[in-house]
A and B are shown apart, each in its own frame.
Chain A
Amino acid sequence: MDELTQVRAFYGEPAPPSAEVMAAARQRWRLPESRRRRAWHRVVLPVGTVAAGTAGVLALTTFTGPPSARAQALAAVHRIGAQSFRVHIDVQTDGQRHSYSAGEFDAVRGIGVVRDSDGGGEQRFFGDVMYSALPRRYQGPDGRTDEFPARYRWSKGVIRPPKELDGLLYGLSKNPQRALRQLDRAKEITAAGPAGGSGWHGTRYAFTTRKAEGIQAAGTLDVDGAAGVRRVDITWSYAAKNDPTKIAHTVHGLVTFDDFGVGVAVTEPPPAQVIPVDLQYYLLTGHHLPPGSRPAGWIPAP
């Protein structure tokens, strides 16, 4: 463990704020200045005391209530950043299986590995650095199929954190704990009834995103009784270019989490097996990478 991981482990994982504290805090900034402190003390301090029983009950009746569905869902989303877990990612395009992959992540140490179900692909993660197993063959810029030099087995790049919720699926397969935090930007999160799976029961939350450039996403987030994220089910709808009112196609992602606390062991590939960024760029595009430039769509690792 490096020293930052030691520091995080040292400070541990505190329990989330109680419903009373959240409700009181929510009310605190709504109140006039003169009443803020007084209201806070009425709610938080007298709870459980006999002397202030009447006032406490009155204050709780006035100020408390369950935390919002959004707050509860986001609390689970943030909690997963302090856990290790297995993740399973199933993607369908227009109802057809597109890909299935699975892996494990240690969010505290910032490492992880994901493998394609067909055994052909593998990605290893160290912070924002990603190593991708090279396919044996690739299609060059002239359309011809060629082979990567045999000595190279990995490419190295830097993950671009998705800036929009539409990038959530991309992120879930690369840095799920960070990608889930994109739900902070969800347009709406509401409680949608009970949820459950093998060995757990919990709550389902429904979310929607703001429509942007003809793309809108909606889905559900399942959280177990211990405030752990268990399942994310999300569908992206792409509007037809010639008729924005019609859906041209959909992408559906089902991401499940389990085996919390799993040990994660991942090693970095030997440097000699990692293809230089400029060579990879040349093979795929037929052009040399201009000095100091960054190819569009991805960021080469230094």
Chain B
Amino acid sequence: MTDPLVTARPEAGDFGEIFDAYFVEIHRYVARRLDRDIADDVAAETFSIAFRRRDVHDPRRGPVRPWLYGIATNLIAKHRRAEARRLKAVQLLDPGPKAETGEEGTLDRLAAEAVRPRLARALAGLPPRQRDVLLLVALGGLTYEEVAQALDIPYGTVCSRFSRARAQIREALGGTNPTSAQEDFDG
């Protein structure tokens, strides 16, 4: 059976199905990268653009999800300064230990808190195109193939950008990777 969201017709009813299925997910991705008020607007504009370009989208090239991520990523690119400001602000935070409880108090969370400034500096230092690939994989959960579709770049380019970005993040975290035996995503 074909994915109904791949073959959704441009009529408003079918596009509503796409909106219902993906708006929360796209909003989540954008809200992680940009301030909330900007994210609300960017997520909404993503679907506005998708609706306007629904005739251009070729279902044979892939499902709509990576396509939506691609539109969102292009819109995020217009807010590079805002994204940089956010990362800069985190770099200035004191990485000292915080008293946390419950779900937030896991060792992983505390470890992440401790490296936040370094991670922010590394993420801010990534070339934007590498950062886009890294975050589409890490936050969006896209495969390499889907990232290639989202950004309209060759698969090999995705692999190389991802590899370089990941290496820089790893280096910023101290050059060690306790789970390096296993890749998180296959492409």
Are A9 and B109 in contact, CB atoms less than 8 angstroms apart? Answer: yes
**A21-B44 Cα distance, complex, nearest whole Å:** 8
- The listed residue with most A CB atoms (<10 A of its CB), out of B15, B32, B47, B120, is B32
Question: Interface size (B, Cβ < 8 Å)?
Answer: 63
Are B1 and A210 in contact, CB atoms less than 8 angstroms apart? Answer: yes
Please report whether the interface of chain B is mostly helix, strand, loop or mixed according to DSSP.
helix
At the interface, yes or no: B41 with Cβ under 8 Å from chain A? yes
* Nearest CB in chain B to that of A68: its residue: B20
At the interface, yes or no: B133 with Cβ under 8 Å from chain A? no
Are A24 and B4 in contact, CB atoms less than 8 angstroms apart? Answer: no
Are A10 and B116 in contact, CB atoms less than 8 angstroms apart? Answer: yes
**A75-B21 Cα distance, complex, nearest whole Å:** 9
Are B24 and A74 in contact, CB atoms less than 8 angstroms apart? Answer: yes
- The listed residue with most B CB atoms (<10 A of its CB), out of A12, A14, A28, is A14
**A155-B21 Cα distance, complex, nearest whole Å:** 36
Q: Which of B72-80, B135-143, B146-154 contacts A (4 or more CB under 8 A)?
A: B135-143
At the interface, yes or no: B5 with Cβ under 8 Å from chain A? yes
Known contacts A127-B182, A260-B103, A261-B102; A11 and B51 CB within 8 A of each other: no
Q: Contacting B23 at CB < 8 Å: which of A7, A8, A71, A164? A: A71
**A169-B28 Cα distance, complex, nearest whole Å:** 26
Are B112 and A10 in contact, CB atoms less than 8 angstroms apart? Answer: yes
Chain A residues within 8 Å of B40, by CB: 17, 21, 25, 44
Are A2 and B178 in contact, CB atoms less than 8 angstroms apart? Answer: yes
Residues of chain A in range 171-217 having any CB-CB distance to chain B below 8 Å: 184-185, 210, 212
* Nearest CB in chain B to that of A106: its residue: B108
Q: Contacting A5 at CB < 8 Å: which of B25, B27, B108? A: B108
Q: A53 → chain B, closest Cβ, in Å?
A: 19
Selected A-B contacts with CB under 8 Å, 6 pairs? A1-B178, A3-B170, A10-B123, A14-B39, A74-B20, A110-B184
16 more A-B contacts (CB under 8 A) besides A6-B173, A11-B33, A210-B4?
A: A4-B184, A7-B119, A7-B139, A10-B116, A14-B28, A15-B36, A17-B27, A21-B40, A28-B48, A40-B44, A44-B41, A71-B20, A74-B20, A74-B21, A128-B186, A261-B103
Which 6 residue pairs of A and B lie closest in terms of their CB atoms, listed nearest first?
A261-B103, A25-B44, A9-B112, A29-B51, A14-B31, A11-B32
